[in-house]
Structure 1
Amino acid sequence: MKILIVDDSAMSRKLVLKALPAELQAVVTQATNGEEALAAYHAGHAEVIFLDLTMPVMDGFRTLEQLKREDANAVVIVISADIQPQAQQRVRDLGAAAFVKKPITPEAMQAALYEVGLI
């Protein structure tokens, strides 16, 4: 499975990486903003995208909008500290398959992967 972790915080990316189940057998690519994420997606490095919302250059909302415009087939799981119902609804409307609040835990990761049918 090709996984892309997108977050401007190296610590947050590391937490997502650590929360991934070992049995997933994933090839992981990392990006620090939406532009890098789209480039990685176009290069074939993302079947599953863990996406932060608040980032410089291109935020998660704009990234989701672009993926939706392109009719992308990656599964997007948003991981954000912005847990307002409006933000959660907006990302769902833009095609996100799941929403997990920061900081992510292995249990929350497991639940999100189960919710989207990856485990």
Structure 2
Amino acid sequence: MTVRVLVADDSRLSRRSVIKALPPELNYAIDEAANGKEAIALLNKASFELMLLDLTMPEIDGVGVLEYLADKTEKPHVVVISADFQPEKQRIVMSLGAAKFIRKPLDQEELAMTLFELGYL
């Protein structure tokens, strides 16, 4: 089974780190976005099962992407991976439909457990 994944983060290094942290036992097809505007454009062109989303990005931030997805019938599971771990921000993203909020720096085991909980492992 191939899992279609969108990794959205303005840092190329962070995107590489997230991709490297994905468990190797699954087959992934990965697209990358450097900001929320690019992420939304990719979401309009293809369907993704999973989105790994940073909050602090230029043009459209992660909250804006979640707001865009809020009224969509088909949408990916969204795992927010961010250094902005304020309780209010966490509450907002969870209320907008995020499946999980993981703190940066990314813990590979926490990501694997999250993917297990979402049914990918």
Shared fold (TM-score greater than 0.5)? Answer: yes
Q: Report whether the alignment pairs 1:16 with 2:18.
A: yes
The partner residue of 2:80 within 65, 74, 78 is 78
How large is the Cα RMSD of the aligned pairs? 1.2
The partner residue of 1:55 within 45, 52, 57 is 57
Q: TM-score of the superposition, structure 2-length normalised?
A: 0.92
Q: Flag structure 2 segments of 5+ consecutive residues without an equivalent.
A: none
Q: Flag structure 1 segments of 5+ consecutive residues without an equivalent.
A: none
Residue 46 of structure 2 corresponds to which residue in structure 1? 44
- The aligned length equals 119
Partner Cα separation in structure 2 for residue 17 and residue 9 of structure 1: 12
The partner residue of 1:28 within 27, 30, 51 is 30
Partner Cα separation in structure 1 for residue 35 and residue 76 of structure 2: 17
Superposed CA deviations along residues 98-117 of structure 1, whole A, max 9, x for unmatched, are 11110112112112212322
% identity of equivalent residues: 44
Q: Report whether the alignment pairs 1:109 with 2:111.
A: yes
- State the AA in 1 paired with 2:110: A
Superposed CA deviations along residues 17-74 of structure 1, whole A, max 9, x for unmatched, are 0100011100000001111111111111522000000000000001100110333421
Native 8 Å contact 1:78 1:96 kept in 2: yes
Partner Cα separation in structure 2 for residue 95 and residue 72 of structure 1: 12
Runs of 4+ in 1 over 4 A off after TM superposition: none
Q: TM-score of the superposition, structure 1-length normalised?
A: 0.94
